[in-house]
């Protein structure tokens, strides 16, 4: 579904991604794990079209999307749920969700899709009229994912969704990701929380200083000594 080849990305003179190759198959949940500043967010931002790579190729469903704008990518089903939620703080929960449908051709009839999001996140239904900025971190994360769902994505990029959440909410989030996958949404999940990411994913890549240093089945990686030592704290 998503093929990334030989991606080089710079911020000024500093090279942040070095020859990155990555593949996400249709219906897969793939994790991208790595320490702070490894380049996880940068990878997702490049995929979403927020940051231009110096070189490299990005193909979605066989089509080269490197030249497309963020808006065109969203319309094509590629949606990023960014790090730190980035919800519209002064909008209500409902307006945030509706904004998620902005890029859809049939956005005028998107109101009906609110129900699907509410079915997945009943808490959002209760808070429908609440200002999004006044919700808890966990609720805001649910909202950010729900808003992403309103775009009817085929590929969803999740950047650090566990950031700042309590363990019990993180479990809830794992369930959510399973749910999304069951609903046929392909997922690329960037996470520092390797334990959570590896438990959700089918496959995973380990990113360090802009390079993929390991990749493979999530279950196998979870047992690899390097990963255990570096990321799982055992």
Partner 1 sequence: MIQLIIGQLLNGAIVGSLYGIVALGITLTFGITGIVNFALGAFMMLGAYFTWYGYELIGLPYPIAVIVAVLLVATLGLVADLGLFRFTRNNLVNGLLVSIGLISIIEASVLLTWTSTPKDLSYVLPGSLRVGGILLPKIKLAVFAVLLLVIASTYLALTRTWIGRAAFAYAQNPEAAALMGVKTNRLQTIVTVYSTALAGLGGALYASLYSLEPTIGAYYVLKAVESAILAGIGNTIGALVGGIIIGISEGIGSVFLPTAFRDAYGMLFLVLILLFKPSGLLGSK
Ligand X SMILES: Nc1ncnc2c1ncn2[C@@H]1O[C@H](COP(=O)(O)OP(=O)(O)OP(=O)(O)O)[C@@H](O)[C@H]1O
Site membership for Mg ion, residue 43 (CB under 5 A) = no
29-33 and 186-191: which strand pairing? Answer: parallel
Site membership for partner 1, residue 80 (CB under 8 A) = yes
State whether the Cα torsion 82-31-63-180 is positive or negative.
negative
Site membership for ligand X, residue 40 (CB under 6 A) = yes
Q: Where are the beta strands (DSSP E) in 40-172?
A: 55-60, 63-64, 78-81, 155-159
Tokens 């307006």 belong to residue: 95
Stretch that binds Mg ion, among 23-31, 75-83, 114-122, 149-157 (CB under 5 A): 75-83
Among 57, 70, 130, 199, binds partner 1 (CB under 8 A): 70
The CB density around residue 45, as the number of other CB atoms within 10 Å, is: 20
Among 6, 54, 89, 219, binds partner 1 (CB under 8 A): 89
Contact 42, 16 (CB under 8 A): yes
24 vs 103, beta carbon nearer Mg ion: 24
Question: Could you tell me the CA-to-CA distances from 203 to 27, 206, 216 in Å, in that order?
Answer: 12, 10, 6
Stretch that binds Mg ion, among 79-87, 92-100, 120-128, 225-233 (CB under 5 A): 79-87
- Least separation in angstroms between residue 63's CB and ligand X is 25
Instruction: Pick out residues in 95-154 that bind ligand X (CB under 6 A).
Output: none
Site membership for partner 1, residue 88 (CB under 8 A) = yes
Coil, helix or strand for 186? strand
- Please name which of 122, 221, 206, 130 lies closest in space to residue 172, comparing C-alpha atoms: 122
**Residues with Cβ < 8 Å from 141, sequence gap 6 or more?**
85, 161, 165, 169, 173
Site membership for ligand X, residue 82 (CB under 6 A) = no
Site membership for Mg ion, residue 193 (CB under 5 A) = no
Question: Could you tell which of Mg ion, partner 1, ligand X, none binds residue 77, using a CB distance below 5 to 8 A set by kind?
Answer: none
State whether the Cα torsion 225-38-28-183 is positive or negative.
positive
Among 151, 165, 201, 218, binds partner 1 (CB under 8 A): 151
Stretch that binds ligand X, among 38-46, 59-67, 165-173, 213-221 (CB under 6 A): 38-46
Q: Give the Cα separation of 180 and 186 in Å (integer).
A: 8
Residues contributing to the site for partner 1 (CB under 8 A)? 48, 50, 69-71, 74-75, 79-80, 82, 86-91, 95, 98-100, 102-103, 107, 147, 151
Residues contributing to the site for ligand X (CB under 6 A)? 11, 16, 34, 36-42, 83, 160, 192
């Amino acid at each position: 579904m998503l093929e990334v080849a030989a991606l080089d990305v710079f911020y000024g003179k500093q090279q942040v991604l070095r020859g990155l190759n990555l593949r996400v198959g249709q219906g897969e949940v793939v994790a991208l794990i790595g320490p702070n500043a490894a380049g996880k967010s940068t990878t997702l931002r490049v995929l979403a079209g927020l940051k231009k790579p110096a070189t490299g190729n990005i193909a979605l469903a066989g089509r080269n999307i490197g030249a497309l704008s963020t808006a065109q990518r969203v319309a094509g089903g590629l949606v990023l749920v960014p790090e730190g939620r980035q919800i519209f703080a002064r909008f209500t929960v409902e307006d945030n969700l509706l904004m998620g449908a902005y890029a859809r051709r049939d956005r005028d009839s998107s109101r009906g899709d609110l129900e699907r999001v509410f079915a997945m996140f009943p808490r959002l239904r209760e808070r429908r009229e609440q200002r999004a900025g006044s919700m808890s971190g966990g609720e805001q994360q649910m909202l950010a994912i729900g808003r992403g769902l309103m775009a009817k994505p085929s590929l969803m990029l999740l950047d650090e969704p566990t950031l700042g959440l309590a363990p019990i909410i993180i479990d809830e989030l794992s369930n959510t990701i399973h749910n999304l996958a069951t609903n046929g949404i392909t997922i690329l999940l960037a996470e520092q929380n390797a334990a959570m990411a590896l438990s959700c994913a089918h496959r995973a890549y380990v990113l360090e200083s802009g390079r993929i240093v390991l990749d493979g089945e999530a279950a196998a990686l979870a047992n690899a000594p390097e990963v255990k030592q570096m990321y799982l704290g055992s």
